[in-house]
Copies of this chain bind each other. A is one copy, B any other.
């Protein structure tokens, strides 16, 4: 069942991805998604509750996407390439921006962002370690962290420049280096 709360949360996610969330105002958001600030308070308890719900929804979406990617993993390279294609999709890119915004908020311990930093990378690495072993590889955790960092750094560049082609070439360079280096 799709509760009214879920519907509101979905619309809120879209609005927040498009317009940012650090300066989110209940009234502004409410009128943008066709409700009243009164209703947001009703469903989420407080502004902080709304922020927490948005952050949690973001984390969940990330986890789901990761699970799918890692599930039918052929090679590490393919996983990264698919994730890249997915995250650089114009409809998803705003959520990448949201990710960086929430990162900044969480570093400053803004209410509603509790736990975000911890769930930001470690689950990724755990999942990747497991997936690697499933493929008979014994992955190096430092290398996996490097892979995650490369994606994120290049995504920041995509956000800043608005250009996907350059960073995509850079990613290919990295994957080439990686395969060459690991094949020793």
Contact = CB atoms under 8 A, between A and B. Distances in A.
A105 B153 contact: no
Instruction: Report whether over half of chain A's contact residues are helix, strand or loop; otherwise say mixed.
Output: helix
Contact of A181 (B20, B117, B180): B180
A50 to B, nearest CB: 15
Interface in A148-180: 148-154, 156-157, 159-161, 166-167, 169-171, 173-174, 176-178, 180
- Copies of the polypeptide in the assembly: 2
A78 B107 CA distance: 29
A86 interface: no
Contacts of A178: 177
Contacts of A106: 160
A167 B181 contact: no
A100 B97 contact: no
